[in-house]
Structure 1
Amino acid sequence: MHAKLHPKRALDHERAVCEPWRGSPGRFIVVLPLPQSGGDHDTTRFDLDVLVVQQADNGNTERAKIVSRLLDEGALTEDASHIAEIRLDTARYTLAPDARAFGLRVIYQGSSRTSPYARETLTLYLPQGQKLAKVLEELEMTLERGEWDANCTGNFDTTRGTLSVMRAASNGLADLTLRRTRSGSRNLLQGEECITQERPATFSSIVLRFDGTLYRMPKRAARD
């Protein structure tokens, strides 16, 4: 499909996606990461061609039909944080009786041994006829980071989130609840032994509402 749609552009084969859409018989979700040319030597920007494809009855991939599509220009940026994986999320994001979205999770990883860093983001796409609408953009679901001396002493923090669909709705689409758990630990050297001290976990809950274009994080929550 890449050869037909983008014959003159390179494809990042390692991170491309083509998987069945669970609950939608015969439909596949295809994600084509297309590196942009030029730009900063240390930074790579990617366009994402995201497609919902209907497989032909006889399974002939040459006759597969594009049902919905979005060419998302500059969707991802890779700099000091490496894009380790692009993964499909087909949980039942039913945002309205006739509106079911799917997600893309992008996993970023840092390269520093003494400042470990990793995060995972979630973007939701909603088919609207032949168009594919991006209704949630790179919501941070996991963040792991720390600072240590590469021997023992250091601090580490982890934030993990889960997203659920609510009954209430705004501007035609269901509200979303983001629940986050934050935890941390401190490593200390006591004699010749490395001791880990866990900090109590904290919990928070945030409601995201659709504004007619996107689900947006409340300003106070975004600052936190």
Structure 2
Amino acid sequence: MRRQHVAACFLGFACAAGHAACDTGLAERMHTKLHPRRALDHERAVCEPWRGFPGRYIVVLPMPEAGGTPDTTRFDLDVLVVQQADNGNTERAKIVSRLLDEGALTEDAIRIAEIRVDTARYTLAPDARAFGLRVLYQGSSRTSPYARETLTLYLPQGQKLAKVLDQLEMTLEHGEWDTNCTGVFEATRGALSVMRATSNGLADLTLRRTRSGSRATLQGDECITQERPATFNATVLHYDGTIYRIPKRAARD
């Protein structure tokens, strides 16, 4: 058995990543209304219903900044919570909350593969429910596969959206191999949960991470994989009144 298939699908979420499309045209209408003179990255634009809020949608408009270099592109994100009219007429959709997040994302040798909405129940207080944006990054090197996923949380506060968690790394998968068999692979995967304890009015968050790895070697005509024992750790994130601070140890793990 050769290693090609294993390496191709080692980056699990990259294999399963889908195309985020705004089938209703709501995102395009919002872009035309708000930014008629700016380009929209249609491939990565997002428009999804916010589960639990009838008629309410989360719209994300990624717009490349002017003046970038050939190797690097920075994106502004206009993040909107939009309420559809009762009759479904998107022309009458109303912006409920909004944040123009300037320079939010950077794409270089590691490309942005997908932006998607995470509408898990991030209930941070009885009257405060956040939603997440997950950004999937993917490398292009066959010999050094790389993929990464980050999570940012946005909390509606009246007409404004507050970014209360900024690009927390949830998944990191990378490795090096000879495209035949021999190689080393590592993966770190995280899960975020809401706690009962609070800090400065919002619930504490627990980040649990699992780290695993493997080494493949060619023994005769057979490719042998040895799995490394998984390790686990947990970190509590506290809200400081503005944002959830990510401890340096959690940022490194």
- For Structure 1 versus Structure 2, the TM-score category normalised by the shorter chain is over 0.9
1:18 counterpart residue number:
47
Matches within 5 A, 1:1-224: 1-224=30-253
Q: For 2:214, give the aligned amino acid.
A: S
Determine the structure 1 residue equivalent to 2:7: none
Q: Which residue of 1 aligns with 2:22?
A: none
- Between Structure 1 and Structure 2, the one with more helix by share is 2
After superposition, give the CA deviation of every residue in 1:103-153 in whole Å (9 maximum; x if it has no partner): 000000001011100011000000000000000011011100001111111
What's the offset of the Cα at 1:218? 1.4
Structure 2 distance, partners of 1:219, 1:87, is 26
Deviation at 1:84, TM superposition (A): 0.6
Partner of 1:2: helix, strand, or coil?
helix
Distance 2:37 2:100 in 1: 15
Q: TM-score, normalised by structure 1?
A: 0.98
Question: Which amino acid counterpart does residue 113 of structure 2 have in structure 1?
Answer: A
Aligned-residue CA RMSD in angstroms?
0.7
What's the CA shift string for 1:10-66, capped at 9, x where partnerless?
Answer: 000111011110001111000000011112210010000000001111111011100
The secondary structure found in structure 2 opposite 1:221 is: helix
Q: Structure 1 or 2: larger strand share?
A: 1
Distance in 1, Cα, partners of 2:208 & 2:74: 30
* Number of corresponding residues: 224
Q: What's the CA shift for 1:78?
A: 0.4
Q: TM-score, normalised by structure 2?
A: 0.87
Conserved? CA contact 2:169–2:251, under 8 Å: no
The percentage of counterpart residues that share the same residue type is 86
* 85 and 223 in structure 1: CA distance in 2 versus 1, 3 angstrom threshold: closer
**What 5-or-longer segments of structure 1 have no aligned partner?**
none
Cα distance, 1:222 vs structure 2: 2.5
Structure 1 outlier segments of 4+, above 3 Å: none
| Equivalent-residue separation in structure 1 for 2:161 and 2:37 (angstroms) | 23
* Distance (whole Å) between structure 1 residues aligned to residue 57 and residue 92 of structure 2: 13
| Alpha-carbon shift at residue 220 of structure 1 (Å) | 2.8
Aligned to 2:15: none
